[in-house]
């Protein structure tokens, strides 16, 4: 690989005697990893049955390296969301975020969804996870990965950080800013990043990072945590970004966190061009973390853990410009309280009230027990689509929202058609009828083929090794395939 001359010169100046080892890392094969989805899989059973050659990633409890001979991307478990293929170093930022169930968390630059789905695993379906991506095409990919991993409590938005900052004021408990960067750490993995690199682009990225961080700062509650990360080596985007941020926001401090084997501390001297040396040293930039490809098994990354000063009283809610979304609940419909007059302007609740009875019939006929709407925000119609929204979810008013919670399905004339997202959220024990596939059958189902089966008519959860793959509907002895056409491999 031919590296840009200006990049080589800068890295040699930064690394000194370690530069030859760094340069040699580009001649080595990249490391590949996957992250097991604990919503669906149990660690011991997963390792025993997957058939891959796995070694643990030190900084992520559900992360595993796999061998080059393994092909997890072609395994039906991948389509079932049992794991997410993710570069090993990229697993570090979300691990240091330390998300907890019940919290309000923002992944500000979230596509394609690796870190979002990792955060969701720590949240265990509890709390609200707002995952945002400014580019529409990438936001769609983010939404698809949230669906594949079966996440019930995520709200996917397609907004700029500035727009979100207008809506949320000191609202989130934790924010991940995996900032757009010059991508130097990915040169070994992606040669296109190397071709697109320039010193000017490094500076453009640094300026953009400043803007994004300022937006994040205003959305975090007192005492909350921001994890900032990049996949670049450039000091302007790493220690420099932190020095500039702490100068603008003295209410923040860098937390001292433990390092895993192979990780190294940030270097304060690399930020001296952004302020007085003594002042820079008081910022403790050595508490930030660098992941070097010649020091550990992964690509180049940088991360910093920031905490905002202050505490919040018990019951603190923060501010949301448009308030919280109010879904409709079963008891309102069954008691008649959910009926609205035609003059009522709340069309979202009107549509939910009309379609909910159809959904209740499906639920009774197909599921072992009701979905827990009382533990969530209730049911919400989004056009003709029905969602189970997280408790305390922000209003969708004024925001470009791709996914306001768990997509349950489509409200069609006098019938309900369940979504692929619902199938991937459910487990075998959650449904009355399921059809396990073996041998070549899972791939045939993913390819869109019709299957033969004997049983009572109705909706079936199609599974492989206990993991849900999608819906089938049995009529006669023919299982109609409802695997989404856009996802079919055949």
Residues labelled catalytic: 231
Q: Cα dihedral sign for 10, 15, 21, 25?
A: negative
Instruction: Kindly write down the DSSP assignment for every residue of 387-430, as one continuous string.
Output: EEPPTTPBP-TTS-EEEESEEEEEEETTEEEE-HHHHHH--GGG
Question: Which residues 6+ apart lie within 8 Å of 313 measured at CB?
Answer: none
Residue 367 is classified by DSSP as B
> For residue 21, which of 264, 269, 273 has the smallest C-alpha distance?
264
Q: How many CB atoms lie within 10 A of CB 118?
A: 26
With DSSP H G I counted as helix, E B as strand and the rest as coil, what are the percentages for the chain, rounded to 5?
Answer: 35, 25, 40
Tokens 């293929």 sit on residue: 85
Are residues 312 and 169 in contact, defined by beta-carbon separation less than 8 angstroms?
Answer: no
The residue among 114, 150, 118 whose CA lies nearest residue 133 is 114
Sign of CA dihedral 36, 37, 39, 45: negative
CB 459 within 8 A of CB 473: yes
Q: What is the DSSP string of 49-70?
A: HS---EEE-TT-TTEEEE-TT-
Please give the distance of CA 352 from its chain centroid, rounded to a whole number.
Answer: 28
């Amino acid at each position: 690989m031919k590296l840009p001359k200006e990049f080589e010169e800068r890295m040699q100046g930064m690394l000194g005697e370690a530069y030859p080892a760094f340069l040699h890392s580009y001649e080595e094969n990249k490391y590949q990893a996957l992250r097991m989805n604990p919503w669906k899989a149990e660690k011991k059973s997963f390792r025993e049955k997957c058939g891959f050659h796995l070694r643990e990633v030190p900084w992520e409890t559900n992360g595993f390296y796999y061998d080059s001979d393994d092909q997890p991307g072609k395994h039906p478990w991948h389509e079932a969301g049992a794991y997410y293929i993710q570069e090993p170093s990229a697993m570090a930022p979300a691990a240091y975020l330390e998300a907890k169930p019940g919290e309000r968390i923002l992944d500000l630059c979230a596509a394609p969804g690796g870190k979002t789905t990792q955060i969701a695993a720590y949240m265990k379906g509890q709390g609200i996870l707002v995952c945002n991506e400014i580019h529409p095409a990438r936001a769609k990919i983010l939404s698809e990965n949230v669906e594949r991993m079966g996440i019930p409590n995520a709200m996917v938005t397609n907004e700029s950080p500035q727009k979100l900052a207008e809506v949320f004021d000191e609202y989130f408990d934790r924010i991940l800013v995996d900032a757009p960067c010059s991508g130097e750490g990915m040169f070994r993995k992606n040669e296109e990043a190397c071709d697109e690199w320039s010193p000017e682009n490094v500076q453009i990225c640094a300026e953009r990072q400043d803007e994004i961080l300022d937006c994040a700062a205003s959305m975090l509650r007192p005492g909350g945590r921001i994890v900032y990360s990049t996949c670049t080596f450039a000091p302007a985007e790493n220690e420099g970004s932190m020095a500039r941020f702490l100068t603008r926001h003295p209410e923040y401090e860098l937390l001292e966190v433990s390092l895993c084997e192979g990780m190294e501390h940030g270097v304060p001297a690399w930020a001296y061009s952004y302020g007085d040396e003594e002042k820079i040293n008081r910022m403790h930039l050595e508490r930030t973390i660098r992941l070097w490809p010649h020091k550990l098994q992964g690509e180049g990354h940088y991360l910093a853990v920031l905490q905002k000063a202050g505490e919040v009283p018990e019951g603190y809610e923060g501010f949301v410009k448009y308030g919280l979304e109010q879904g409709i609940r079963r008891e309102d419909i069954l008691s008649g309280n959910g009926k609205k007059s035609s003059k009522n302007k709340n069309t979202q609740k009107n549509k939910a009230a009309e379609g909910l009875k159809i959904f209740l019939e499906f639920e009774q006929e197909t599921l072992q027990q009701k979905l827990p709407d009382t533990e969530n925000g209730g049911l919400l119609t989004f056009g003709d689509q029905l969602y189970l929204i997280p408790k305390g979810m922000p209003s969708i008013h004024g925001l470009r929202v791709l996914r306001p919670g768990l997509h349950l399905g489509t409200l069609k004339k006098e019938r309900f058609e369940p979504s692929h997202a619902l199938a991937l959220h459910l487990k075998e024990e959650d449904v009355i009828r399921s059809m396990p596939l073996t041998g070549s059958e899972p791939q045939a189902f993913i390819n869109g083929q019709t299957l033969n089966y004997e049983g009572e008519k109705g909706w079936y959860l199609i599974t492989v090794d206990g993991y849900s793959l999608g819906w089938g509907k049995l009529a006669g002895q023919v299982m109609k395939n409802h695997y989404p056409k856009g996802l079919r491999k055949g």
